Structure 1
Amino acid sequence: MDAIRWGILGAGGIAATVSADITALPGHVLHAVGARDADRAAAFAHRHGVHRSYGSYLELVTDPGVDVVYIATTHAQHQEHALLALRAGKPVLVEKAFTLNAAQARDVVAEARLRRLFCMEAMWVRFHPLIREVSRLLADGAIGKVVAVRADLSKRFDFDPAHRLFDLDAGGGALLDLGVYPAAVVWTWLGRPDTVQATGALAPTGSDLSVGMQWGYPDGRFAQIHTSAATDSPFAALITGTRGWISLEPRLHRGRRLVVHTADGDVEHLAPAIAGNGYRAELEEVARCLAAGELESPAVPLDDTIGILDVLDDARRQLGARYPAD
């Protein structure tokens, strides 16, 4: 295809942020946007230079000019909207968290595989240059055998029961909004854990507010993952090995510096300047997969997406945080 024509399903903040990066990429076109409100969709289209706007999601996904649909609604709506697009024959890029739970994720993935359509979670942190550099260093044995990983992403939000982060009907909670990032990164480095232990605190609405998880592995490796909507944290990640350690600073999803420490001394790696809002690499991966006829990305495998949600489901069960959809 000469240019990838994007359909944006949803007209909120994340849709605007990602649309700005789509606009800046050669070979990518904002073809259409759909929202439940036609005026809101038209206003979004005017602000972002989108060719067409629709007052319903169905109109968007059935537009023959749309090549791929970016699902930009809230977690609780992802399953419904991804299935709507897939059943209309459209490949999808689904904003993180992919769905509310692993059961919903399996439903979406099964539909995509049945229809042989491309599907990927928009887990852009996996494309961050420093996250990829850590993966390369670990594969090269730069710090020997990995013993443990610690990772954190936290951001304080003032409690508001109507805010999406505290609203269970909207998929609220620190795990799906923040914790999914360190979970995805640790999974990239260590794979699926054998055991999961979780502790933490709930918000007055019952959403998970602060969560600490320990993942255990049969060979003795372990990971400690922390996320919270009650506090800010400057910590990102620390990977310790038998011959040294790697620190990633200052925050996990926007890392700017990593240091490899061994007996030979410290080696610093700085992140290159990242153009735009940070989403271009994942958009380029969608384009590459579509051009190659690949139905999923090896950088964000669908089985990983499901597995991570399995783990987060387990953590929420241990905490007593439940969604109506559970």
Structure 2
Amino acid sequence: MSTSTTGDTERPIRWGFLGAGGIADTMARTIAQTPGHEVVAVAARDPVRARAFADEHGALRAAGDYAELVEDPDVDAVYLNTTHAVHHEQLLVTIAAGKPVLCEKPLTLNADQAHAALSAARHHGVLAMEGMWMRCQPLIRRATQAAADGTIGEVVSVQARLGVRFPYDPTHRIFDAGNGGGALLDLGVYPAHLAWLFLGEPDTLQVTGCLAPTGVDAAVSLQWGYARGASAQVFCSSLGDAAPSALVVGTAGTITIDASFQDPPAITIATDAGEERVTSGRNGFQPELEEFARCLRAGAVESELVPHTHTVGVLQVLDAARLELGVKYPQESQIGQV
């Protein structure tokens, strides 16, 4: 187990990377630009790829064995960025080794896996956080605070969409059931988290969508209903480009979140008193990284910005949608279970 960083604000957090893909490159560059963090080790299935990644980003150690990295005493925290299908197993191994872990979204394939992994983290007293970077962005936090303060009255509707056109290739991860493919887990998780931020868990769910030839979901529309009369419309698609836009409607105003809402350049809060446009430079992964560091140094096992109950709850909604569409992964005995 690594030397504890709890309460230590002087020593940099030494990161080990499980995975060396494109998203890992983005995070490594963010770490290099963020004081108090450094990449010290990387593991990938291909040791040559791991070595190349380590050399590019100044990490001292590279391995083709994931277990070697999580047992490394010089690694303080693990950034897990492999494909969805292996997150659950790798989370359990990382947590059992006592390593705090930031895991790329979605945390796992389904809610049962997420609940098991996060329960293990709490049992071992280990920080575990889903890499839902959108939730940590300053403008998203400003928007949710405005809604919570009643600035736009009672929230009655959230509309959020995200579509990216992927040319059909059955071997690509988004079409590969064995890799947890589908629009819902890859894209829909973002608008779903956004709707949850403003409205919480839905009381009812209506699902329409279509499947790719490989049997994974290709485009999905979700209608969330609430007993109090509110609703949310969540849309995702791997068939065509749809700018990631979002609108929050209240009884006394609206909040428009500019594209892309994962990391928006601006939001507009409109009420009878007028419009307030709040802008920000793109923040990328840095706010997420800073939130993880804050939690780690405070000795927390979860982030208030990305709470475990929300991670599991959103996956429960996506599980229900997959059940309706008939999308089941090979790793599941039935939808929603390992």
Q: For 1:227, give the aligned amino acid.
A: C
Report the Cα distance in structure 1 between the residues aligned to 2:188 and 2:221, rounded to whole angstroms: 10
Aligned match of 1:127: 136
Deviation string for 1:241-270 (max 9, x for gaps)? 111222112222132222222223322222
Q: Give the drift of 1:25.
A: 1.1
For the 8 Å contact 1:76–1:171, the answer to whether it is kept is: yes
For the 8 Å contact 1:112–1:118, the answer to whether it is kept is: yes
Aligned match of 2:174: 165
The structure 2 residue matched to 1:279, chosen from 275, 279, 285, is 285
Q: For 1:63, give the aligned amino acid.
A: D
- Pick which of 255-264 and 288-297 moved more: 255-264
For the 8 Å contact 2:42–2:69, the answer to whether it is kept is: yes
Aligned pair count reads 323
Aligned match of 2:301: 295
Aligned match of 2:263: 254
Report the secondary structure of 1:258's partner residue.
strand
Report the secondary structure of 1:252's partner residue.
coil
Report the Cα distance in structure 2 between the residues aligned to 1:287 and 1:260, rounded to whole angstroms: 30
Report the Cα distance in structure 2 between the residues aligned to 1:281 and 1:244, rounded to whole angstroms: 28
Aligned match of 2:3: none
Q: Give the drift of 1:13.
A: 1.0
Report the Cα distance in structure 2 between the residues aligned to 1:86 and 1:193, rounded to whole angstroms: 31
Report the Cα distance in structure 2 between the residues aligned to 1:36 and 1:58, rounded to whole angstroms: 11
Gaps of 5+ in 2: 1-7, 333-338
The structure 2 residue matched to 1:230, chosen from 215, 236, 239, is 239
Q: Give the drift of 1:187.
A: 0.7
- Pick which of 311-320 and 29-38 moved more: 29-38
Runs of 4+ more than 3 Å apart: none
Q: For 2:69, give the aligned amino acid.
A: L
Report the Cα distance in structure 1 between the residues aligned to 2:220 and 2:134, rounded to whole angstroms: 20
Matched, 1:313 2:319: yes
Report the Cα distance in structure 2 between the residues aligned to 1:32 and 1:260, rounded to whole angstroms: 43
Give 1:8-87 correspondences, 5 Å limit: 8-87=17-96
TM-score (normalised: structure 2): 0.93
Q: Give the drift of 1:235.
A: 4.9
Q: For 1:176, give the aligned amino acid.
A: L
Aligned match of 1:203: 212
For the 8 Å contact 2:18–2:81, the answer to whether it is kept is: yes
TM-score (normalised: structure 1): 0.96
For the 8 Å contact 2:265–2:281, the answer to whether it is kept is: no
Gaps of 5+ in 1: none
Aligned Cα root-mean-square deviation (Å)? 1.1
